[in-house]
Amino acid sequence: MRLFVGLGNPGAKYADNRHNIGFMAVDEIARRHGFAPWRRRFQGETSEGLLGHEKVVLLKPTTYMNESGRAVQEAQNFFKLSAGDVTVFQDELELPPAKVRVKIGGGIAGHNGLRSISAHIGNDYRRVRLGVGHPGIKELVHSHVLSDFAKSDRPWVKALCEAIADNASLLAAGHDSSFQNKVHLTMQAKGFFDSEEEGGN
């Protein structure tokens, strides 16, 4: 079994924020793969289903971003999962918009959701880093992630979430590099970045 955690803040006012792209990704996985209806538990909302041959629980913490680890730990304990069974979908300032990188462990780069999760379950979980771009000035980071995606961003956000959902079974099976490359190729084919840009690590 896998636990896929989308990071974001609960409530309509945050729904289209850059910080909520993790929520958007797991929502699309649930839609594309016919997962069960969302229900409230573990200080969050969960939906269950199959990705390939793997049972997957999707979790959206409703604790606000900086307390996300409480919900993740509760779900992890309930299902008796290791940190290696947990995959977190997060917004990533250090990647250009529409880029995806998958890694296990590593630093948290000031991300409050990751800081909370690492404090509760350790650092050895998988992160799916979803590029939202950097505003260029450190002082603007907070307002950048808590602002809505621009209208011009919405096509790539939609395409990225769809590509993630279409290839989510690779992630569930532990084929991280294949997942990353297929998402990259899909986004490239749709014209969201140039063909000479690499798709590896």
Q: What are phi and psi of 114, to 5 degrees?
A: -65, -40
**What is residue 79's predicted lDDT score, i.e. its pLDDT?**
97
Q: What are phi and psi of 74, to 5 degrees?
A: -60, -45
Question: Of residues 19, 33, 111, 144, which has the active-site annotation?
Answer: 19
CB 74 within 8 A of CB 43: yes
**What is residue 106's predicted lDDT score, i.e. its pLDDT?**
86
- Which CATH code for domain 2-189? 3.40.50.1470
Where exactly are the structural domains of the chain? 2-189
User: Tens digits of per-residue pLDDT, 49-79?
Assistant: 999 999 999 999 999 999 999 999 999 999 9
DSSP 19: G
Q: Where are the alpha helices (DSSP H) in the chain?
A: 21-32, 68-79, 112-121, 141-145, 154-166, 168-172, 176-189
Residue 74 CB: number of other CB atoms within 10 A?
18
Model pTM? 0.94
pLDDT under 70: residue ranges of the chain:
194-201
Q: Is 144 a catalytic residue?
A: no
**What is residue 194's predicted lDDT score, i.e. its pLDDT?**
58
